[in-house]
Each structure stands twice: as structure tokens, then as C-alpha cells.
Structure 1
Amino acid sequence: MNHPITIKSGDVQLSGVLQYPESDKVERGTKKYPIVVICHGFVGNRIGTDRLFVEAAEQLTNSGYLVLRFDYGGCGESTGDYGSGGLDKLIEQTRTVLDYTAGLDLVDPDRIILLGHSLGGAVAVLTAARDSRVKSLVLWAPVAHPYMDIRNIIGKQAVEEIEKTGKSDYLHYELTQHFTNSLAEYQPLTELRSYNGDVLIVHGTADTVVPVDYCFLYQKTFWLRKEGCCDKEVIMQADHTFSSKSTRDQAFDVTLRWIDSLGKRRSDWSYWTI
């Protein structure tokens, strides 16, 4: 069951959809459900390439999870101008979505999960480092060096144009100098140490957009924390958006099994008392 929503973040209206498990499984007012909030990538939207996030949400809701998919400002059906803001705005908008999520009666506050893809993975990390309501992170092919990674995507010519004129057109998105400057200001690999929750990283060996080496770099850095575990799954021949059926099925399967294991672990601990 899908419920269209609009969330106000500053002067921007974020368009999204809240998806429930099958109606006969939802016990309104009597049970709390874990929720997965999906953060899309650079100039993306809540549908995802080849319906990546739609299909992921279907898998999750079929397994009893709430899912919230939303468009960042200036993307999809949200108002605003994506290219005029920066990572600061994306973090702010993600936290506003968390405000909405935490206010839902059906949501278990101890099982709020951010799932971020590509640049959305970096945004998820930066948000989790600032917001203790994020209990778990799932990172699909996450960006590790925002400035260099997005520079490689938009190309050297666009970067030089931004530096010279203050803006550049990329796929109809007007990227400003504030946007590129903000990419250089935020360092997910440094800031992640402020986050103590559990993490899963999923990456494909055939990813030509974000290097698969980042998967190992992220895990090594997460391991340096005093608290929280970090698991990874490297999927052979998977590209940046897990576009083939076999690799996408693998990504969904490992993600769902990992999230389920967190719930089981919490349930097992509930039997222990001091």
C-alpha cells in the first residue's frame, strides 16, 4: 500500500511515498514497524534507475518493513533547484524526512534504517554522523570522495566552467559553485567515526561510476570505530545500479537478510535482563 506524502524542508516541498506492508499485516496502533528510508543519488529520484528503488521497496514491504522513498529538492517531483544547494542542503532535507519518520506512530524508533545509493550513500553517512535517530546504515555503491567522484561524473569541462562562470548545465540541472564547493567541504570517511550504528556496504565489481575499492576503504574505516559493526558484500559483475536481474536479486537478498538479522539480534537480546 502506497501513500503519497509531501514534506516541507525550508522553502522546498519534498515529494515522497510512504509504503506499508500488506494491509492485513499492519496492526495500526498496536505494533511498531522498522522503516527503511531510501536516499537516492546525484540528480536521481525516488524511482531509481530501471526502477531500482521501486523494486527494493517492494521486496522490503513484502517482508514486513515500512519504506519511505523521497525526491531531494529539485529532483523528481520535489520543488526547488538541486544544483543551487549543496551537500548541506541534502543533509538538511534528509534530517527533515527523519523528523517526519520519527513522528509516525507505526515506526519503531529503534529500527530506523537509512539506505543510500551512490551520492545518497555519502549523504546517508553524513546524516547518520549528525543524527542519532539513524540506527542502521545500508550503503549501495557509496561515494567516498564527493568532490572528486562527482567531478569525474560531470567532467572536467563542466568543473572548469563552474569555476569560471559560477555555474554549468548538466543534464538540465544548473550546478553552481556553491554545490561543487560543498562537495569538497564534506568528508564522509572522516565524519563516519561519529556514527556508532551497524553498517552494510554492497558494491559491484563492474561499477565504472564509483570504484569498488571504496567498499573496502569504507569498511576498514568503519572498523576503526569504538562501537558498531560493518559488513560488506561484493557482487561479481554488478554495475553501479545493479542493472541485471541476477545482480539486483543478490543486492536485495543480502540487504534483506542483513536487516532481518539486526531485528533477530535485537529480539534475542530482549530475552536477557540484568
Structure 2
Amino acid sequence: MNLEALVFQNKRGQNLVGIMHHAQGEGPHPCLIVCHGFAGTKTGGSRRFIEFAQYAVERGISVFRFDFAGSGDSEGDLVDLTLDNELEDLEVAFSTIQGMDKVDSEQLGILGHCMGAVTAIRAASRNKHVYKTIAWAPFSDIDGAICRLIGEDAYSILLEGEEADFLYNNQLFQCGPSIVETSKGINMFKEIQQVNNPLLVIHGTEDATVPLSEVDTLMNSVKENPNYTYEVIEGAHHSFPYHKEELFEITTNWFINNKGGFQNENKRESFV
């Protein structure tokens, strides 16, 4: 496996750490930049992002997965997390990977999960050089999603302007009120409408963190756009732990061919 570790600096002077999985064969290759979710890392739960990268490189797609500031191996503190800081980190990651010789800069896309999916959509709405965008389990109700992720008690503390401890995936974290304060002006309906490149959104019917109805409403607001594809996986949860095969196949087939890939009678119909 052809791996390359990268350290690059964001505009706030923090070192961010990422791993590039180079696709097999001669390049340059199309590439996806992976954005992890809230309080996550470039590894992903149950090594999801590593497994996806291994799956993608066998199909000619390079994958760059990195840690946002305050997560994983990157510098910073989670308490300073804001959606705008994530957007800034992703912009720097994109420009870094765009300049690599082994990457086809004309086929450089973004993939995000959960809050990383929100950041991916926001980046695509601003950057005309993004080839394609893929959002796994995004959300439009930012306050509601944060509340469900950290719990009502911790969320109430944030609303009071204080830092709050919370448990996530059996780990203790701390977040600050900035994430709530700075998200007030973000309208995901406007953000997604401004994405001009092809967009794929994948969601699960059993997602307890982001209700399917929330994503249905978001995608119905843009269903007339022929560049947007919406796939719903029957029985899948927020992190798709039991549906990786469907998730990976739909993602890579669409990125390569611009069409869904895993045909399953249990999968709800999508609109394109």
C-alpha cells in the first residue's frame, strides 16, 4: 500500500496531520479528501475511513484523510471548534492536495461524514474547483444535531456561554460555546443551493443522530437540480456500521461514473 504522511499548517498557525492513500498504478489519479465528523478523527469509527481508503485505491481513487484542528494528531483543542474553523482547515487541505503531482487536480473531490459532511457542502458552495462532493449523513438543523451529539445538559451549558464536558463514543471531551454562537448564521438550505458541482448525499433510515426526515426536507429543496443525487440506505445507522459495502460501492461508483452502484431491493429509491 502506497501511503504518505503529510503535515500542513492552517491559517491559524496550527499543524494539521493527514495520510494520503495513493491509488494503484500510474497517476495522476482522481482523489477524495475525507472530512471526519464531530469529535472524530481521520481513522473513523471502527476504522471506517481507513477501510474506505483501502477500498477506493483499488478502484483507482486516491484518498486523503486528515484531522481537523483539535482532533486526532492535529494541533489545537476541540474546545475551540467552530464550523468556520473546519471550513478554513478544509480549504487549506484542498489547496495542499491540489498541488500534488500524483493527484489529478481536475478530479479532486470532497467527502464528509456528519459535521464533516456539512463542512464539505459549505466548501463546495464556495470553491468552483471542487470536482464532486459526497455527504454521508449531513444535517441542516445545526443546533439540534449538536444537542443530540453532546446531550441536552452539555448543550444547555454551552447556551450559557460556558465550556461543557460531554461523553461521545465512551470518551470524555470538552467543547466551547463558540460552536453554537458561530453556527447561528449558517443556513444549510442556502449553502446546498450554491453547490454547483455534482453532489451525492447518502443517509440511513435508522439514523438516530440526524433524522431521515431532516435530510429528506433538505434534499427536496434542491431535487430539481440534475447535478444532485440522493441515496437512502434501508436500515443504516448514522455511522453505517452494518452497511459499509453499500456505502463504499455507492460512493466510489458515483464518483467514477456519476451514478449509484449498489442495487439492493431493500434500498429506498433515490432521485437524481
CA distance in 1, matches of 2:95, 2:34: 15
1:125 matched to 2:121: yes
Mapping of residues 79-158 of structure 1, within 5 Å: 79-158=75-154
Alignment partner of 1:183: what SS?
coil
In structure 1, the residue matched to 2:256 is 260
- Partner residue of 1:215? 215
Question: How far has the Cα of 1:192 moved from its partner?
Answer: 1.8
Which residue among 228, 231, 246 is the counterpart of 1:230? Answer: 228
Query: Higher mean Cα deviation, 113-122 or 174-183?
Result: 174-183
Equivalent residue, structure 2, for 1:240 = 238
| Percent identity for Structure 1 against Structure 2 | 26
Q: In structure 1, what is the equivalent of residue 8 of structure 2?
A: 7
Secondary structure of 1:222's aligned partner: coil
> What CA distance in whole angstroms lies between the structure 2 residues aligned with 1:189 and 1:105?
36
After TM superposition, which residue ranges in structure 1, 4 or more long, deviate above 6 angstroms?
none
Q: Structure 1 stretches of 5 or more lacking a match?
A: 264-274
Distance 1:231 1:88 in 2: 26
The Cα shift of 1:243 comes to: 0.7
CA contact (8 A) 1:17 1:69 kept: yes
Aligned to 1:266: none
Deviation at residue 165 of structure 1 after TM alignment: 4.9
In the alignment, which residue of structure 2 is the partner of 1:194? 194
CA RMSD of aligned residues (A): 1.6
5+ residue gaps in structure 2? 260-272
Q: Which amino acid in structure 1 is aligned with residue 63 of structure 2?
A: V
Aligned partner of 1:76 in structure 2 is 72
The aligned residue for residue 158 of structure 2 is 162
Deviations 1:142-167 (CA, angstroms, capped at 9, x unpaired) = 12221221122212211221233521
Inter-partner Cα distance in structure 2 for 1:112 and 1:215: 25
Is the alpha carbon distance of 1:214 and 1:113 closer, same or farther for their aligned partners in structure 2, counting shifts above 3 Å?
Answer: farther
Q: Deviations over 1:186-217 (max 9, x none)?
A: 12221222221111111111111111223322
Q: In the alignment, is the contact (CA less than 8 A) between 1:14 and 1:70 conserved in 2? A: yes
The letter for the 2-side match of 1:8 is: Q
Q: How many residues align?
A: 253
> Match of 2:222, SS?
helix
Q: Deviations over 1:96-138 (max 9, x none)?
A: 0011011112222221111110111111111111112212111
Paired residue type of 2:106: D
Contact persistence 2:21–2:62 (CA under 8 A)? yes
> C-alpha separation between the residues in 2 aligned to 1:204 and 1:194?
24
CA-CA distance at 1:257 after TM superposition:
1.2
1:174 corresponds to 2:188? no
Tell me if structure 1 keeps the 8 A contact 2:70–2:80: no
Under a length normalisation based on structure 2, what TM-score does the superposition of the two structures give? Answer: 0.88
Contact 2:4–2:20, Cα closer than 8 Å, also in 1? yes
Which residue number corresponds to residue 19 of structure 1?
A: 21
Query: 1:74-93 deviations in whole A, cap 9, x for unaligned?
Result: 11111101221311100000
